[in-house]
Amino acid sequence: MDAILTSLANLEFYLVLAAVLGVAWGIVGGALPGISPSITMALLLPFTYALEPSIAIALLASTYVGAEYGGSIPAILIRTPGTNAAAASVIDGYEMNKQGKAGLALGISLYSGVIGSLVGLSALVLFSEPLARLALAFTPPAYFALGILGLSVIVSLSGESLVKGLIAALLGLMISTIGTDPVSGISRFTFGVSDLLSGIQPILIMVGLFAMSELLKQASAQNEIRVKAIPRIQFPDSKLKKRLILPQFIGALFGGFEGVMPGAGGTIASFMSYNEAKRWSKAKHEFGKGSPEGIAAPETANNTVAETSLIPLLSFGIPGSNSTAILLGGFLIHGLIPGPMLFARSGDIVGDLYVGLFFAAIALLFIGIAIMPVCIWLVNQPRPYLNAFIMALIMSGIYSINNSLFELSVVLVAGIIGYFMSLLKFPFLPTVLGLVLGFMIESNFRRSLLLSGDELSIFFNDRISLALLSVAALFIIGSLARPLIGFLFAGLKNKFTDNAGR
Amino acid sequence: MLSRDFVGGLVAIALGSLYLVFSFRQRVSALADTIGPAGIPKVLGILMVSLGIILCAQAIYQTSKSVVPASSEWKGEARKIFRAFGLLIIGVIYLFMLAFLGYVLSIALLLAAVAFYLGAAFNWRMMLIAAAGAVVLWTIFVILLGVPMPAGLFSQG
């Protein structure tokens, strides 16, 4: 709280500007189908290198906030969600558009997005620091256990195949071993290339995997969808606002919970809150036919997630989603390591981030209205030009970090890897997690063994380490058991239905 | 025909094996800890190969059960891969051009080449957009952010 007051007392114009520009960029990126919030953030990442750390972090986080709303614009207007999380808004948003209520649908989305952002921000401020304070007592075994807890998320991030998720994570862990060995100082897998001695920066892999691979994928895509009219945003009246309170509460609840749960993300939160909003609604029959509640719940949820997903990142340094992984990249390129020490050493940056996010939530309301024609103009632009500009942005932005052609080639290689991972249906996030957690896990594992004289019991004698490893084990067991329980329940249900049928 | 999972498994086995070979060749210092710089990489390599084998086995089992032939998974993919490869070549050419032609000219050519490759018509409009785009990017990076981009042909030295 002190950090927020200090930040407010020394409020910088550039911080507010970063929040506003971040939201604007996020809305534009989110509105472009195929450009996810993480890609929007990845494109911005190289630009942030030249900025002050607090401005850079606020800019990236505000972009995430803006992108979550931006995704609902094409979802409502052309039945094409700009982001995955906006997919739930298509159902009733597009129906309202067909009924000539596109402006109201967009207004509900924007209004709910602002509420979601503010609720999420409150949760972020309340929980991040206490959790980080807990982590201050961490020793090398505890850091190792924290890394393992971070990796355990892969079980729920792997999508259809756990084996593929694990292979993707191993790839990230392998990349993290390139460079100088953290304990002995000997070079590994550098093949005499001096540029590899300091390892491969996660930002290069992230931009390659998320942004470059998407461009390569779109090289053969042909989707020219046009928005014919520019609707005027119309906010709900007081009667409708009252009706939206319950779905917004449900959205904030699911958004808050799913945001903190690593790997869950905005998409699950949106669909779950949509489902629950329908269950609790007095006008269930309207769902799927243009219900305002059907937009309010998912839009509140995905904007809440944009804030609460920062809790595990700020407190423990563990990114639980693609977007927070990119934000982690933003911290790393400024020499900041999210986690317990961030609050102790760079509390001002955390304070600025909170204040920046507050301004971002407020700016969302105004920018959301003002930028609508720009978004529609951009959505209507021929895809070849848009993609050409995105490629030029990537190439310019990456070069601007260290003026290195080698780093540009790393991004291209990461793009190829990402393209083939996508083709073979491997998830990206485990690779990013492996990459960012690999160094922490290996160095602390080996340091712990050095301290204990090669006794593995050090990981169980340290209380925090034991607790974190237990949580990781529970998380893995829980994630593996969930589909099994679902399968068993489905079997029982079928049996029951069969018996009832007879 | 091989399914995507089977190919993924084969790639994992190949990658893991290659990584293992280099892990075993890793130089180890006399002052290193018990695990040493090659310890963790060896574990990672073995795990990668093992998971690759599991993925291949899963793929074979699923293909044998499936009524849809695995070849249907790859329909139209060859053309997409070639298209992506073409875009990648443009990126590589840009890397080689940057130091020689300088940032403004290279980025203008990149914009034009990518737009043309992705289907934009080659006309004055495209040239104008590429030139304007290059100027905008140059203004952002060189003037506003102060990044020293290569001057190439325009360098005074």
> Following DSSP, what letter does each residue of A299-312 receive, concatenated?
HHHHHHHHHHTHHH
- In this complex, is the C-beta atom of B69 within 8 Å of any C-beta atom belonging to chain A? no
- In this complex, is the C-beta atom of A177 within 8 Å of any C-beta atom belonging to chain B? yes
Nearest CA in chain B to A212: B88
Chain B nearest C-alpha distance from A304 (Å)? 32
Residues 6+ apart with CB under 8 A from A68: A26, A30, A37, A83, A85, A86, A113, A266, A302, A303, A305, A306
Positions of chain A with pLDDT lower than 70, given as ranges: 1-3, 7, 9, 33-34, 80, 82, 84, 156-159, 221-230, 261-266, 482-502
Helices and strands: H and E segment counts in chain B: 5, 0
Window 90-109 of B: residues touching A by CB (8 A cutoff) are: 91-92, 94-95, 98-99, 103, 107
Averaged over B104-132, what is the pLDDT?
92
What pLDDT was estimated at residue A23? 93
Three-state secondary structure call for residue A467: helix
What pLDDT was estimated at residue A30? 81
Averaged over B47-67, what is the pLDDT?
91
User: Which pTM was predicted?
Assistant: 0.77
- How far is Cα B44 from Cα B46, in angstroms, rounded to an integer? 6
DSSP of A22-58, one letter per residue? HHHHHHHHHHSTT--HHHHHHHHHHHHTTS-HHHHHH
Window 181-220 of A: residues touching B by CB (8 A cutoff) are: 181, 183-186, 188-189, 212, 215-220
Averaged over B5-33, what is the pLDDT?
90
Examine the pLDDT at B111 and tell me if it is beyond 70. Answer: yes
Is residue A382 within 8 A of residue B120, CB to CB? The reply is yes
What pLDDT was estimated at residue B1? 62
Residue B152 carries which DSSP code? Answer: G
Averaged over B99-119, what is the pLDDT?
92
Reference A34, options A206, A222, A164; nearest CA is A222
CA dihedral B37, B39, B40, B41 (to 10 degrees): 80
Reference A111, options A370, A303, A377, A359; nearest CA is A303
What pLDDT was estimated at residue A247? 93
Query: What is the phi/psi pair of residue A187, to 5°?
Result: -80, 145
Nearest CA in chain B to A454: B34
- In this complex, is the C-beta atom of A50 within 8 Å of any C-beta atom belonging to chain B? yes
Nearest CA in chain B to A177: B41
Q: Which of B84, B92, B137 sits opposite A216 (nearest CB)?
A: B84
CA dihedral A443, A145, A452, A180 (to 10 degrees): 0
- How far is Cα B16 from Cα B37, in angstroms, rounded to an integer? 17
Q: What's the N-to-C CA distance of chain B in angstroms?
A: 58
Residues of A in contact with B119 (CB under 8 A): 222, 382-384
What pLDDT was estimated at residue A379? 72
What pLDDT was estimated at residue B22? 94
What pLDDT was estimated at residue A501? 47
Q: Which of B103, B110, B141 sits opposite A391 (nearest CB)?
A: B110
- In this complex, is the C-beta atom of B129 within 8 Å of any C-beta atom belonging to chain A? yes
State pLDDT tens for residues B135-155: 998 888 888 777 788 887 766
At residue A315, what is the residue type?
S
State pLDDT tens for residues A379-416: 777 778 888 988 898 888 888 778 889 989 999 999 99
What pLDDT was estimated at residue A114? 92
Chain B nearest C-alpha distance from A152 (Å)? 16
- Higher-pLDDT residue of B71 and A28 is A28
Nearest CA in chain B to A213: B84
What pLDDT was estimated at residue A1? 65
- In this complex, is the C-beta atom of A455 within 8 Å of any C-beta atom belonging to chain B? no
Averaged over B54-77, what is the pLDDT?
83
